[in-house]
A and B are shown apart, each in its own frame.
Chain A
Amino acid sequence: MRAFSLALALGASLLATSAMADITVYSAGPGGLIDKLAKGYADKTGVKVNVFQATTGKIMARIESEAANPVVDVLISASWDTATDFAKRGWLATYTSPNAAKVPDFLKNGTAVAQGISALGIAWNPASGTPKPAEWADLTKPAFEDLVTIPDPAQSGASFELVAALQAKDGWELFKGLAANGAIVAGANAEALNPVMQGAKAAVFGAVDYISLAAKAKGESIDVIFPASGTVIAPRPMMILNWSKQQDEAKKFIDYVLSDEGQKAVAATYLMPARTDIAANRPLISDLKILPVDAAAVYGKRDATLAEFGKVVGK
């Protein structure tokens, strides 16, 4: 029994550390960015931000299980599809931030606005002894036999859009070539990148760029190549939930993320800032060829596309 009361006291001390939140933000990675934004906003406004950070999938599972009694005020997802889906369910509040004026129209609508944008590219290890690839199709050449990883399109919205866009353009030939060349589907983004960094594999087909760019900045032997034939981007939507009891604070949080300070923090993580007037140390949307993705059509047949992909790549 003494053990019980001790545990309770211990729990109580833990409880004291997480005081009641002023606003609650659920955010996809990178974790450092949302911590920085939360702190910057708290310093500016005195309103505390409590953060829950996880993958988009985990955040969705949490919101789904919490739906009877939701607690999230602002949601930042890594997939624009979330914004579309939540808007359809009628879960989003309408808000257009004054700071969103410099955000291109295709990165905002009445209920969501981009925090930043990532693009997919080839993450290639220059120390791997393979020729520098320039195109997706280069990874089907003998030089890359058994040396390519593909992030699982079932686990990442952006990877799925890349598969869908490339398939719409050229059919499944490219993916059949990858499979014949021994490419493997290796979990989420980090799982696909790790063997490439150590040199077990040479390249990631469709890596999320900012993670690789940040690794490169840390001194890893890794390069990101955006094929001239085109790639896909993944804008990261911010949304205010309509059940939030802190609508004003939530709106101010969106304003802050879109402020000069907030957007510079976004750029510092090697994401593209949503505002076009903020400088970034990396290729921007205007430097990339973006493949067209008809979200409604593509997501409409998601299951069929994933099943076909699994069959082709032998996952």
Chain B
Amino acid sequence: MRAAAARTGGHGPIGWVAGVSLAVIVAVPFVFIVLQAIFPELGRGSLAAPLQHLPKTLGDPALLRLAGNTLIIGLGVVAGCTLIGVPLAVVRALFKVPCALAWDVAFLVPFMIPPYIATLGWIMTMQPRGYLQQLTGFNLGPLLFSVPGMILIMSLNLFPVVYFAVSRTIEAVGTRYADVGRVFGARPGRAFFRITLPLATPGLAASLLLVFALAIEEYGTPAALGTRFGFEVLVTGIENRISDWPIDLPGAAILSLLLVALSLVAFLIQRRILSSRNFDTVGGKPQAKDKRPLGAWALPVGLAFALVALLATGVPLAAILATALSKTISGGLKPANMGLQNFEEVLGNAGGALQALMNSLSLGIGTALVAGALGALTAYAVVKGSGRGRPVLDVLAMLPSALPGVVVAVGMILAWNQPALPFTPYNTAFILLLAYCCILLPQPVRYATAAFQQIGDNLEAAARVAGAGPFTVFRRIMLPLILPSLITSMLLVFAVASRELVASLLVAPVGMMTIAGFIWRQFEQGSVGLGMTMSFIAIVLTTLIPMLLIAALRRFAGARFTGLH
């Protein structure tokens, strides 16, 4: 241990813990996906006919179209999220926005709404005779079922990633550096664009990379909207290969590797932007956090926040609630058709609804804790370590954001259902925990990485001089400094893990129901109302639990806890 520590510049033990955990959670399933792409008979334990599939899959003329469409969606959503998220984040970070806390909460809600549910809500609102037409007399169906419509819906669902990351980063940068610029004669705009915004690059670049990765591996929205106008992306292509008879696992594996390659390119671009610059802004000096008043701009800014909150949170939530309260879908929004039957059925445990809630919430908490801890360790080892393994760790930690859930699921089954294993998490709840950790790990890693990049090395050096070991430095100095970012990302992990659909459907142990499984089962049977009711309850719970947690933390930890202020 001592030798290893010396070789990796004092961060050895942490690097090793992160490395071994990542190997188990990420590398193992990924290696099996690569093997599956090479050996078509892998599922049956045979290595026969290697690479036989490659020409057929790569020679498919549809492939180029799928890849092109995926890029359109990925770049479109990145642009959409930048346009919506960055201005709001900047204003939120630097000025006194009216009702700022309320907007933060409203922008958190899209994280809690499963994308496929939000999209279904949009469809039921905007299609002909949808809720919008029932209420106002016109429908926006043609806009919804188009590529711009799809990009808009996905951006409204994903922009909070950018909003929270950028506003946190700019808040951490503070106005101090820009003020120095002002002292030297820069106008406010120049000081912002030349000083504050560049210093916020780690948060911005990290969140845009995450948005790109999330957008190209998103399944629900392209599946629900894209099929209506024949727009297919790589993920829907992969999904079709896995769920259409005959099952084509090797083809799905090859397409997944293509998707991974796309994300890797984005990742390398991000690395290029961030490398060889210094973004240290947290140097141990106290940071003045007073924000400036907006003055006459208070009203328009407030209206802009309200409009985005209405579109991103209000409309989908209202549509979900309206459907949940409808006795029948065909009955429409008439008072006689409204009632609490669906809620009574879910709370009366119809179809195992309550077990599903318990299972998913426990798994969400477990995933948040494991992924959060591992994410912090990994980010620390990558940013502050100096070992040769750092790029490997970094790549491993971002890899899952490029892997569609369904592929992670297949990789998990292939890896953990080998007959030779003496014990296996497969067919227990642990396999879901592993799958969720794998899928969601990039979130805490990205947030923690951005936070670590802003902590100057002198803090750590001072602690090491005073005799603290690597774990002590991590626990007593680094962890408290990144805790706000880390907790934000863990809440995100909790919310997403509690409702993860695609992997849950495939790897769920026999006899175990999750929230998403329940919802999907109701939809499949035509009980849209019941499915939406469960969605609504899940959204409320996954929003309330983090809120209460934060309120409690602030109460007990007082000023020391600054998350989500």
Residue ranges of A at the interface with B (Cβ–Cβ < 8 Å): 1, 3-4, 6-7, 10-11, 13-15, 17-18, 21, 24, 26, 29-32, 35, 50-58, 60-62, 64-69, 71, 79, 81-82, 85, 125, 127, 152, 154-155, 157, 184-191, 193-195, 197-200, 211-212, 214-215, 218-222, 314-315
Cβ-defined contact, A57 with B245, below 8 A: yes
Cβ-defined contact, A127 with B330, below 8 A: yes
Partner of B330, one of A51, A184, A214, A221: A221
Taking the closest CB of chain B, its distance from the CB of A230, in whole angstroms, is: 24
Stretch at the interface among B182-190, B424-432, B455-463, B544-552: B424-432
Q: A60-B245, A71-B427, A155-B240 are in contact. List 11 more A-B contacts (CB 8 A).
A: A7-B433, A10-B369, A15-B428, A21-B511, A50-B510, A188-B524, A194-B329, A194-B523, A200-B130, A219-B331, A221-B330
Taking the closest CB of chain A, its distance from the CB of B66, in whole angstroms, is: 14
Cβ-defined contact, B413 with A199, below 8 A: no
CB-based nearest B residue for A5: B369
CB-based nearest A residue for B124: A198
Q: List 11 A-B contacts (CB under 8 A).
A: A7-B367, A31-B521, A31-B524, A35-B352, A52-B510, A62-B506, A157-B245, A186-B227, A190-B524, A197-B329, A220-B526
Instruction: Give the interface residue-count category, chain B.
Output: 35 or more
Stretch at the interface among B71-79, B81-89, B396-404, B414-422: B414-422
Partner of A57, one of B247, B367, B430: B247
Cβ-defined contact, B370 with A4, below 8 A: yes
Cβ-defined contact, A52 with B508, below 8 A: yes
Asked if B202 is an interface residue, CB under 8 A from chain A, the answer is: no
Q: B331 — which chain A residues lie within 8 A by C-beta?
A: 219, 221
Q: B428 — which chain A residues lie within 8 A by C-beta?
A: 14-15, 18
Q: B258 — which chain A residues lie within 8 A by C-beta?
A: none
Cβ-defined contact, A68 with B418, below 8 A: yes
Q: Say yes or no: A54-B505 contact (C-beta < 8 A), given A127-B330, A184-B228.
A: yes
What is the bound-complex CA distance between A198 and B328, given in angstroms?
Answer: 9
CB-based nearest B residue for A160: B245
Interface majority SS (helix, strand, loop, mixed), chain B: helix
Asked if B223 is an interface residue, CB under 8 A from chain A, the answer is: yes
Cβ-defined contact, A14 with B429, below 8 A: yes
Cβ-defined contact, A51 with B128, below 8 A: no
Q: A190 — which chain B residues lie within 8 A by C-beta?
A: 523-526
Asked if B108 is an interface residue, CB under 8 A from chain A, the answer is: no
Cβ-defined contact, A193 with B526, below 8 A: yes
Cβ-defined contact, A7 with B526, below 8 A: no
Q: Which 4 pairs of residues, A with B, have the shortest CB-CB distance?
A: A57-B243, A14-B429, A221-B330, A68-B45
Partner of B417, one of A15, A65, A219: A65
Asked if B230 is an interface residue, CB under 8 A from chain A, the answer is: yes
Residue ranges of B at the interface with A (Cβ–Cβ < 8 Å): 43-45, 120, 123-124, 127-130, 141, 223-224, 227-228, 230, 240, 242-247, 249, 327-332, 351-352, 359, 362-363, 365-367, 369-370, 372-373, 410, 413-414, 417-419, 427-430, 433, 505-506, 508-512, 521, 523-528
| Residue from B351, B359, B524 with most neighbouring chain A CB atoms (10 Å) | B524
| Residue from A1, A17, A186 with most neighbouring chain B CB atoms (10 Å) | A17
Partner of A64, one of B230, B247, B329, B433: B247
Cβ-defined contact, B429 with A11, below 8 A: yes
Taking the closest CB of chain B, its distance from the CB of A35, in whole angstroms, is: 7
Taking the closest CB of chain B, its distance from the CB of A237, in whole angstroms, is: 13
Cβ-defined contact, B430 with A200, below 8 A: no
Q: B510 — which chain A residues lie within 8 A by C-beta?
A: 18, 21, 24, 26, 50-52, 71
Taking the closest CB of chain A, its distance from the CB of B278, in whole angstroms, is: 31
What is the bound-complex CA distance between A314 and B230, given in angstroms?
Answer: 8
CB-based nearest A residue for B427: A71
Partner of A14, one of B362, B370, B372, B373: B362
Q: Say yes or no: A154-B43 contact (C-beta < 8 A), given A65-B414, A193-B526, A200-B128.
A: no
What is the bound-complex CA distance between A79 and B244, given in angstroms?
Answer: 12
CB-based nearest B residue for A194: B528
Q: Say yes or no: A57-B242 contact (C-beta < 8 A), given A69-B418, A198-B330.
A: yes
Taking the closest CB of chain B, its distance from the CB of A84, in whole angstroms, is: 11
Cβ-defined contact, B127 with A200, below 8 A: yes
Cβ-defined contact, A68 with B417, below 8 A: yes
Cβ-defined contact, B227 with A57, below 8 A: no
Partner of A15, one of B414, B430, B525: B430
CB-based nearest B residue for A149: B228
Cβ-defined contact, B43 with A67, below 8 A: yes
Cβ-defined contact, B228 with A186, below 8 A: yes
| Residue from B130, B245, B332, B365 with most neighbouring chain A CB atoms (10 Å) | B245
What is the bound-complex CA distance between A195 and B512, given in angstroms?
Answer: 31
Cβ-defined contact, B249 with A61, below 8 A: yes
Q: Say yes or no: A13-B512 contact (C-beta < 8 A), given A64-B249, A193-B526.
A: no
What is the bound-complex CA distance between A290 and B331, given in angstroms?
Answer: 33
What is the bound-complex CA distance between A144 and B521, given in angstroms?
Answer: 30
Q: A186 — which chain B residues lie within 8 A by C-beta?
A: 227-228
What is the bound-complex CA distance between A30 and B45, given in angstroms?
Answer: 32
Cβ-defined contact, A212 with B373, below 8 A: no
Q: B523 — which chain A residues lie within 8 A by C-beta?
A: 190, 194
Taking the closest CB of chain A, its distance from the CB of B515, in whole angstroms, is: 14
Q: Say yes or no: A3-B370 contact (C-beta < 8 A), given A64-B247, A152-B227.
A: yes
Q: Say yes or no: A51-B329 contact (C-beta < 8 A), given A30-B525, A68-B417, A197-B528.
A: no
Q: B120 — which chain A residues lie within 8 A by C-beta?
A: 194
Q: A315 — which chain B residues lie within 8 A by C-beta?
A: 230
What is the bound-complex CA distance between A197 and B327, given in angstroms?
Answer: 12
What is the bound-complex CA distance between A269 and B15, given in angstroms?
Answer: 56
Q: A6 — which chain B residues lie within 8 A by C-beta?
A: 369
Cβ-defined contact, B247 with A18, below 8 A: no
Taking the closest CB of chain B, its distance from the CB of A227, in whole angstroms, is: 21
What is the bound-complex CA distance between A152 and B331, given in angstroms?
Answer: 27
Partner of B244, one of A14, A57, A314: A57
Taking the closest CB of chain B, its distance from the CB of A252, in whole angstroms, is: 18
Taking the closest CB of chain B, its distance from the CB of A98, in whole angstroms, is: 28
